């Protein structure tokens, strides 16, 4: 009996993707080995944070980096850094680390957030770029200034919203085709001395995205460490300008700022760095072809099945993913199919797209699970016909 059996927790067949609510991804054994090794020794955490950040900077082309407790934490800390620009916090030097001089003066500066009365307390975001994760900007004490409409925005609308209270301009990488492009956002923001934060949590692969957003003008970029990189699900990456990453670091654990509640364990840091090294050495095209092969097999097995039309959808080169899109007969409700598959044991997770559409991501299916998935899906749809 395994640990999940002992706890009474069902296992999942994951055709949904690298979702936090399903555990993100499954780390390679070498990642788990590195985490176990890391957990057996005490280290000076500030030193580990610094050295791991140097590695992140090297592989992303950034000036500096920081391992965080997930992508949302990276957004909070990055926003906090932008808020604290120009404050006495910029003068704090935490070295030598052995001193750990967290005296009262430091504490008062570091623990100045969240505070809506800070001079810089606004983050501008295009309306089409809104998403559930932009709550992170508010956690840092900022209010969102929303510009443009659902279908787009103009540079003039963004520029008109910039004032002395602007801490940053936010950009959601997943919505980059809607509204003002990143290069233009960065150019106009920098004209006013305002940094740009890019949320690219789920934009890996391709590997080229590790550098692309910085090259297009971003000051800070956020990635998840627990998706296709294959690191611990509770890790994230913040990279960008040295001064901003430094301010973000002073807000994080073990410093007692807003990020103290977002602590990253030494084994998690080592696990992420190990996973990133392994991921960078993978054959990206071979991995994608493996996903595509599973998708094509699923589509073939569903072809001709009653009540179903299946197709394979591939992304463009900027975002590597493949999806099996299922269109259901009008009499079959996608929400019921999705929910009933989840109720089983094992629990099977696919994605609700529209009232008559379901999406399946094959990238995390273990060998053989695609057969269970297809059989269960056919059976569930037959029940509704």
- 77-98, pLDDT tens digit by residue? 999 999 999 998 898 888 777 7
**pLDDT at site 45:** 95
| Band of pLDDT at residue 364, cut at 50, 70 and 90 | very high
Summarize the confidence of residues 333-345 as an average pLDDT: 95
Give tens-digit pLDDT for 156-176: 999 999 999 999 999 999 999
Summarize the confidence of residues 29-45 as an average pLDDT: 98
Give tens-digit pLDDT for 174-216: 999 999 999 999 999 999 999 999 999 999 999 999 999 999 9
**pLDDT at site 304:** 86
pLDDT at position 103 over 60: no
Percent of the residues in the chain that have a pLDDT greater than 90, as a whole number: 85
Average pLDDT, the chain: 94
Summarize the confidence of residues 147-155 as an average pLDDT: 95
**229-238, 304-313, 316-325 — most confident range:** 229-238
| Band of pLDDT at residue 384, cut at 50, 70 and 90 | confident
**pLDDT at site 101:** 57
3-class secondary structure per residue, the chain: CCHHHHHCCCCEEECCCCCHHHCCCCCCHHHHHHHHHHCCCCCCHHHHHHHHHHHHHHHHCCCEEEEECCHHHHHHHHHHHHHCCCCHHHHCCCCCCCCCCCCHHHHHHHCCCCCCCCCCCEEEEEHHHCCHHHHHHHHCCCEEEEECECCECCHHHHHHHCCCCEEEEEEEHHHCCCCCCHHHHHHHHHHCCCCEEEECCCCCCCCCHHHHHHHCCCCEEEEECCCCCCCCCCCEEEEECHHHHHHHHHHECCCCCCEHHHCCCHHHHHHHHHHHHHHHCCCHHHHHHHHHHHHHHHHHHHCCCCCEEEEEEECCCCCCCEEEEEEECCCCCHHHHHHHHHCCCCEEECEEEECCEEEECHHHCCCCHHHHHHHHHHHHHHHHC
Query: What domains does the chain contain, in order, with CATH numbers?
Result: 27-280 (3.40.640.10), 283-384 (3.90.1150.10)
Summarize the confidence of residues 3-8 as an average pLDDT: 95
Whether this prediction's pTM lies above 0.85 is answered by yes
């Amino acid at each position: 009996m395994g640990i999940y059996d002992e706890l009474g927790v069902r296992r999942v067949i994951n055709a949904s993707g690298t979702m936090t609510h399903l555990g993100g991804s499954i780390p390679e054994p070498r990642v788990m080995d590195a985490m176990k090794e890391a957990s057996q020794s005490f280290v000076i955490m500030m030193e580990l944070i610094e050295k791991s950040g140097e590695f992140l900077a090297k592989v992303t082309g950034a000036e500096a980096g920081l391992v965080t407790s997930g992508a949302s934490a990276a957004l909070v800390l990055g926003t906090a850094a932008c808020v604290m620009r120009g404050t006495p916090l910029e003068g704090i030097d935490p070295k030598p680390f052995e001193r750990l001089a967290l005296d009262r003066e430091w504490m008062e500066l570091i623990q100045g957030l969240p505070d809506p009365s800070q001079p810089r307390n606004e983050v501008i975001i295009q309306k089409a770029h809104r998403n559930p994760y932009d709550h992170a900007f508010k956690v840092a004490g900022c209010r969102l200034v929303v510009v443009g409409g659902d279908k787009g925005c103009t540079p003039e609308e963004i520029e008109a919203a910039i004032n002395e209270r602007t801490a940053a301009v936010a950009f959601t990488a997943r919505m980059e085709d809607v509204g003002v492009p990143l290069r233009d956002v960065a150019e106009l923001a920098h004209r006013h001395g305002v940094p740009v934060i890019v949320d690219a949590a789920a934009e890996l692969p391709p590997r080229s995205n590790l550098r692309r957003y910085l090259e297009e003008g971003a000051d800070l970029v956020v990635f998840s460490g627990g998706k296709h990189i294959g690191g611990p699900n509770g890790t994230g990456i913040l990279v960008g300008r040295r001064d901003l990453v430094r301010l973000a670091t002073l807000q994080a654990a073990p410093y007692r700022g807003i990020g103290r509640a977002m602590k990253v364990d030494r084994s998690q840091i080592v696990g992420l760095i190990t996973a990133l090294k392994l991921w960078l050495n993978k054959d990206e095209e071979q991995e994608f072809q493996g996903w595509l092969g599973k998708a094509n097999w699923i589509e073939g097995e569903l072809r001709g099945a009653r009540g179903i039309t299946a197709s394979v959808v591939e992304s463009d080169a900027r975002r590597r993913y493949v999806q099996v899109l299922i269109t259901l007969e009008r009499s079959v409700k996608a929400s019921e199919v999705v929910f009933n598959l989840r109720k089983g044991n094992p629990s099977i997770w696919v994605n609700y797209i529209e009232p008559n559409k379901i999406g399946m991501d094959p990238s995390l299916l273990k060998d053989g699970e695609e057969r269970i998935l297809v059989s269960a899906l056919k059976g569930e749809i037959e029940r509704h016909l």
